């Protein structure tokens, strides 16, 4: 007697599919046998074939981009919203009504209050009723609630690298929760695919530039998530920099030690804390961007500076994978009860 196993195929829609994060989602999902991309929505490339916009897909798919007004979400199991902040919150409520699972890659549903959102994103929030329903999608903290929710707010790339690096030290009371200094370097793809003078080759090449000093929208995200996860009032100084590489995040953190502790003890504590985290690697050698490119890993290394009584943490991710599309797929896997590394290993 033959026994046939039923394989569930996830029907997927991607809104904002022509941007860098959207394209990364397509790359990750197109190779899966348990996923079928049904709908690609893009306002700027509606009507075009996917391989016209991204030639790497030539011969691999007949998918076309469609306008939002022409898109159907009937029978869609999960929708990814890969739109800029401010645009996503206009569309996610409709998706949330029509699709059983929505994963939003923008910053529109990461903060708990409209006041914080308006202060840092510089515009009003038009869908405040969804804020309490959204689960912050950092699997290393919120795995169980991600599994039960219908709306995931996918974390930002900078916060992912900073939060994962700081979390064990803060939870174990190794470092002061205030006065933490975070410096992050980002590849240019973190700014999105739209063109601007400041993102042109001539402006970026052979240059490093800090921006949004003291006012970056990821500051309240980092502080809120760490404060809630540790039960401490965490405050950070955060300075992002644009560097001339396509992708990657390199974060350096300085924090004051609260106790005498050795390098070996901190390393052991981090290894133990992340022993079951599929995509966090604690390394003895200095973390570097090249080791995480096109992967869903976050690499963390540390140095106990006894001269200054500081713990220096280094954290690296690929901003388009663990910082965006890869983490979104990791969250999708959790929502469907699949192993976290499906399609990501």
Asked if 280 and 302 touch (Cβ cutoff 8 Å), the reply is: no
Name the nearest CA neighbour of 42 among 10, 11, 73, 13.
Answer: 13
Residue 157 annotated to the active site: yes
Please tell me what DSSP assigns to residue 175.
Answer: B
Cβ neighbourhood burial of 332 (10 Å; 0-12, 13-18, 19+): buried
Structure tokens at 297: 């890993």
Q: Which long-range contacts (CB under 8 A, 24 or more apart) does 285-293 make?
A: 286/314, 287/250, 287/314, 287/315, 287/316, 288/250, 288/316, 289/245, 289/248, 289/249, 289/250, 289/316, 291/316, 292/248, 292/316, 292/317, 292/318, 292/321, 292/322, 293/247, 293/248, 293/318
Q: Supply φ then ψ for residue 78, to 5 degrees.
A: -150, 135
Distance CA 199, CA 188 (A): 7
Name the nearest CA neighbour of 138 among 285, 279, 253, 27.
Answer: 279
Helix (H, G, I), strand (E, B) or coil at 335: helix
Asked if 251 and 263 touch (Cβ cutoff 8 Å), the reply is: no
> Burial code of 213-228, b = ≥16 C-beta within 10 A, e = fewer?
eeebbbbbbbbbbbee
Helix (H) or strand (E) holding 88: helix 88-98
The β-bridge partners of 36 are 11
Distance CA 95, CA 79 (A): 7
Q: Which of 131, 134, 157, 289 is catalytic?
A: 157
Catalytic residues: 157
């Amino acid at each position: 007697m033959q026994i046939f196993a039923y394989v569930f195929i996830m029907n997927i829609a991607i809104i904002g599919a022509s941007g860098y994060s959207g394209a990364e989602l397509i790359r990750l999902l197109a190779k899966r046998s348990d996923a079928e991309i049904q709908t690609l929505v893009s306002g700027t490339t509606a009507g075009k074939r996917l391989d016209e916009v991204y030639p790497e897909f030539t011969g691999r798919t007949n998918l076309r981009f469609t306008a939002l007004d022409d898109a159907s979400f009937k029978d869609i199991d999960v929708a990814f919203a890969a739109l800029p902040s401010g645009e996503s919150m206009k569309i996610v409520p409709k998706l949330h009504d029509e699709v059983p699972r929505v994963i939003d890659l923008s910053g529109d549903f990461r903060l708990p209050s409209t006041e914080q959102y308006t202060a840092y994103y510089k515009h009003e929030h038009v869908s405040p009723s969804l804020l309490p329903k959204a689960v912050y999608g950092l699997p290393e903290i919120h795995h169980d609630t991600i599994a039960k929710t219908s709306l995931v707010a996918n974390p930002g790339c900078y916060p992912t690298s900073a939060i994962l690096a700081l979390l064990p030290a803060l939870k174990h009371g190794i470092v002061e929760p205030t006065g933490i200094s975070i410096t992050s370097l980002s590849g240019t793809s973190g700014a999105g695919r739209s063109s601007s003078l400041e993102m042109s080759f001539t402006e970026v090449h052979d240059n490093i530039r800090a921006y949004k000093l003291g006012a970056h929208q990821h500051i309240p995200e980092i502080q809120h998530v760490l404060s809630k996860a540790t039960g401490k009032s965490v405050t950070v100084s955060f300075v992002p920099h644009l560097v001339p590489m396509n992708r990657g995040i390199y974060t350096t953190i300085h924090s004051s030690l609260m106790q005498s502790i050795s390098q070996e003890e901190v390393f052991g504590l981090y290894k133990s804390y992340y022993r079951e985290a599929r995509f966090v690697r604690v390394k003895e050698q200095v973390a570097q961007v090249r080791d995480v490119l096109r992967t869903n890993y976050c690499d963390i290394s540390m140095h106990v500076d006894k001269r200054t009584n500081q713990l220096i943490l280094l954290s690296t991710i690929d901003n388009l994978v663990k910082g965006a599309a890869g983490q979104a797929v990791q969250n999708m896997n959790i929502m469907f009860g699949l192993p976290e590394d499906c399609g990501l290993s």
